[in-house]
Amino acid sequence: APLGVAVLGAGAMGADHVHRLDRVVSGARVAAVADPDGERAKTLAAGIDGCLAVTEPLAALDAAGVDAVLIASPGPAHEAALLAALDRGLPVLCEKPMVPDPAGALRVVAAEECAGRPLVSVGFMRRFDAEHQRLKALLDARELGEPRLLHCRHRNLASHPYFTEEMLISDSVAHEFDAARWLLGQEITAVQVFRPTAGLPGHDGLNDPQLVVFETDGGVVVDVEILANGGFGYQVQTEAVCTRGTARIGEAHGLMTNIAGRWGGEIAQDYLTRFADAYDRELRAWVAATRRGATTGATSWDGYAAAEVCAAGVRAQRTGQRVPITLAPRPGRS
Ligand code: ISE
């Protein structure tokens, strides 16, 4: 029988995942959709055979035929949903941020330990992006020598009205924190934020771009340009500078044209488009892993580490200081 999935959150990300589970990924069916906006849940569930629409997350977890949970509600709702899923022994794929505050993230790590087996996968989709995977393979094989620097650019078309300056770190650069930990296999030890636009009138009061610089326990330095209101499209680029060479990803996508003495190409407008393949691969991998009792991609520990680095990043942004980071002891390791 296909894996019955309860999807919590019927916003843009939840809806995208529901369609993916329904139409792209085999071996799974959407058994229930929950959203505080009942109409939104109903609209999304309509047309999916036997899919229940509810307003309460717990009603979705307890619905008939639910074997696993996909959490795509807003970050602050994640901890309660994760703890309820773990309490029921249900495997979960949780969108980032796993839990925004580090203490809450640690409670999830502890609850998963209590459950006695890995149940939590965190949706840092870049780990499933083909270019990111090629870069990781290259770095792991040390083909370019030892990594020294990562230069990252993270540019969005425009920010939502509710987007805050803190979210440049906790919502956007969160991806680079996870990607760097994963690409390098190293932990982040300190973070600093430079705000060239501080004091200037920002776009809707949001001061961007900002430059986030962080260090790892392997001595690598990572710089991230975060630009929420680039106005031209969605761009995620990384260049690794190593002792014998460099490698870049995220440069060109899609159609290239030559016309009237000019060449040009396309830039994706949002992450749902840019990372569509990565999301497909992520969900396929999650469904397959879940059916054999395993997890995939980022773990609850990775979710915690990202939360800890984000919290330090927000402090660094506020104070202008370099903020050192110490992770909590990792359960099961000395
Ligand atoms: C959003 O929440 C994401 O996760 C996107 O990947 C990121 O590019 C964007 O900046 C965030 O707001």
pLDDT for 197:
84
List CB contacts of 310: < 8 A, sequence separation 6 or more: 97, 100, 169, 170, 173, 174, 177
- Protein residue with least CA distance to atom 7, ligand 1: 172
pLDDT for 9:
98
- E-strand spans in the chain? 3-8, 28-34, 52-54, 68-71, 92-95, 120-123, 147-155, 188-194, 210-216, 221-227, 235-242, 246-249, 253-259, 262-266, 323-324
| 171 pocket-lining for ligand 1 (C-beta < 6 Å) | yes
- Protein residue with least CA distance to atom 9, ligand 1: 172
234 CA distance to ligand 1 centroid (A)? Answer: 10
| 271 pocket-lining for ligand 1 (C-beta < 6 Å) | yes
170 CA distance to ligand 1 centroid (A)? Answer: 10
pLDDT for 204:
67
The parts of the chain modelled with pLDDT lower than 70 are 203-205, 253, 334
| 178 pocket-lining for ligand 1 (C-beta < 6 Å) | no
244 CA distance to ligand 1 centroid (A)? Answer: 32
140 CA distance to ligand 1 centroid (A)? Answer: 26
Break the chain into its structural domains and give their ranges: 3-126+276-306, 144-273+320-324
| 156 pocket-lining for ligand 1 (C-beta < 6 Å) | yes
242 CA distance to ligand 1 centroid (A)? Answer: 28
pLDDT for 252:
75
How do beta strands 3-8 and 28-34 pair? parallel
Architecture category of domain 144-273+320-324 in CATH: 2-Layer Sandwich (3.30)
- pTM exceeding 0.95: yes
Atom from ligand 1 closest to the CA of residue 275? 6
pLDDT for 273:
95
Mutate to test the pocket of ligand 1, among 71, 156, 157 (most ligand atoms within 8 A of CB): 156
List CB contacts of 286: < 8 A, sequence separation 6 or more: 93, 121, 295, 296, 297
172 CA distance to ligand 1 centroid (A)? Answer: 5
The matching CATH number, chosen from 3.30.300.30, 3.50.50.60, 2.40.100.10, 3.40.50.720, for 3-126+276-306 is 3.40.50.720
Q: What is the pLDDT of residues 277-287, one digit of tens each?
A: 999 999 999 99
Asked, colleague to colleague, whether 3-126+276-306 and 144-273+320-324 share their fold, the answer is no
Average pLDDT over the chain reads 96
